[in-house]
Structure 1
Amino acid sequence: MRVWRLTRVGFTALDGSGPMRHGARYSSPGRPVVNFASEAGLAVLVALRYLPEDPGERPSDFVLGWTEIEALPEHVPDGNEPAIRVWVDEWLDSRRSLLAALPSRVLPEADIIMMNPLHPDAAKVAPLRMRPFDFDQCLHRPPMLDTYRIAE
C-alpha cells in the first residue's frame, strides 16, 4: 500500500520521535508512531490545518513524500478521541501489527494510517521518496477566479 506524508525537511525519518516526545492526535506522549495519509491530497489537507494564516510566517521547507508498505492495516474501532487514543496506545504497546487505520476527520473518504516504528517489520519500510512542496504555489489563486462567482 502506498502511504503519504507531508512534513518539513528535518522531520522525514520514519522513527516516530516527534509523537514520542509530544504525543499526537491519536497517541499519548512516550509512544513513537508515524502518521501517514492514504492519499496525497489528505496529507496536504491535514498539514494545511496547522499552517499559520500569514503566508510570511509559513515555513518554506516542506516535502511531500510517499513509500510503499507491504502490510494491511488493522482498523481502529469507532469511538471518540479519548477512546481511540486508548486503543492506539494499546496497539502501539502490543506491537501486534505494523499498521492501523482510521477514517480522517478532515476527509472521511480517506484514512489516517499509523505505523508502529517498534514493530519488527518497520525496519523493512523504505525511506520516503520526496519532492519539494510549496504551499504558496499550492494556494495560489488563479487569475480567472475574479471572473467567476461561486453560486450561493
Structure 2
Amino acid sequence: MKLWRLTRAPFLALDGSGPEKHGARWVSPGRPVVNFASEPGLAVLVVLRYLPRNLAGIDDDYLLGWTEIDATPERLPFVEDQAEKRRIGDDWLQSGRSLLAAVRSAVLPEADIIMMNPAHPASAAVRPLATRPFDFRQTLSLPRS
C-alpha cells in the first residue's frame, strides 16, 4: 500500500513525535502516531486546511513524501465527537493489534487517513519516505493567460 505525507523537512521522521507532544485528531497527547493519506491530493489538502489563506509567509521547505507498507489497515469507525475519536484512536494504539488503522478523512470523505503505530514491531520494516519538493505558491498560482 502506497501512503503519502506532506510535511516540512525537519519533520520527516516516521516516529510520531509531533502527535506525541501535541495530540492529534485521533489520539491524545502523549501517544505517538504517524498520519498518512491514502492519496497524494489528500495529503496536500490536509496541510492546506491549516495554512493562512495568504501564502506569503509560509515555510518553503515542504516535501511530498511516500512509502510502501505491506499491511492492510484496520478500519476504525468514523465519529464526529472529538473526545470519542481520541478514545477510539488511543484504544487502537494501546492494543498494539495492528500496524495501521484507516479512518475516513473529514477533509475528503472519499479518501482515508491512515495512522501508523510507530511502537508496533512491524514499524521497524517501514522504509523512510521518498520525497520531492512541494511548493504551495507554485501549485496554487493561476497560469498566465
Smaller-chain TM-score bracket: over 0.9
SS in structure 2 at match of 1:91: helix
What is the aligned partner in structure 2 of residue 137 from structure 1?
Answer: 138
Instruction: Give the Cα separation in 2 of the matches to 1:2 and 1:143.
Output: 34
User: Contact (CA 8 Å) 1:76, 1:84: kept in 2 or not?
Assistant: no
SS in structure 1 at match of 2:106: coil
SS in structure 2 at match of 1:35: strand
TM-score (norm 1): 0.92
Q: CA RMSD for the aligned pairs?
A: 0.9
The yes-or-no answer on 1:48 pairing with 2:64 is no
What is the aligned partner in structure 2 of residue 15 from structure 1?
Answer: 15
What is the aligned partner in structure 2 of residue 90 from structure 1?
Answer: 91
Code of the residue aligned with 1:95 in structure 2: it is: G
Paired residues in the alignment total: 144
Aligned-pair identity (%): 62
Instruction: Give the Cα separation in 2 of the matches to 1:59 and 1:52.
Output: 11
Q: Larger radius of gyration, structure 1 or 2?
A: 1
Code of the residue aligned with 1:41 in structure 2: it is: G
Query: Which portions of structure 1, spanning 4 or more consecutive aligned residues, are displaced by more than 4 angstroms?
Result: none
What is the aligned partner in structure 1 of residue 100 from structure 2?
Answer: 99
User: Contact (CA 8 Å) 2:103, 2:114: kept in 1 or not?
Assistant: yes
Unaligned runs of 5+ in 1: 145-152
How far residue 143 of structure 1 moved from its aligned partner, in angstroms, is 2.6
TM-score (norm 2): 0.96
How far residue 77 of structure 1 moved from its aligned partner, in angstroms, is 1.4
Instruction: Give the Cα separation in 2 of the matches to 1:12 and 1:121.
Output: 19
Map 1:52-63 to 2 at 5 A.
Answer: 52-63=52-63
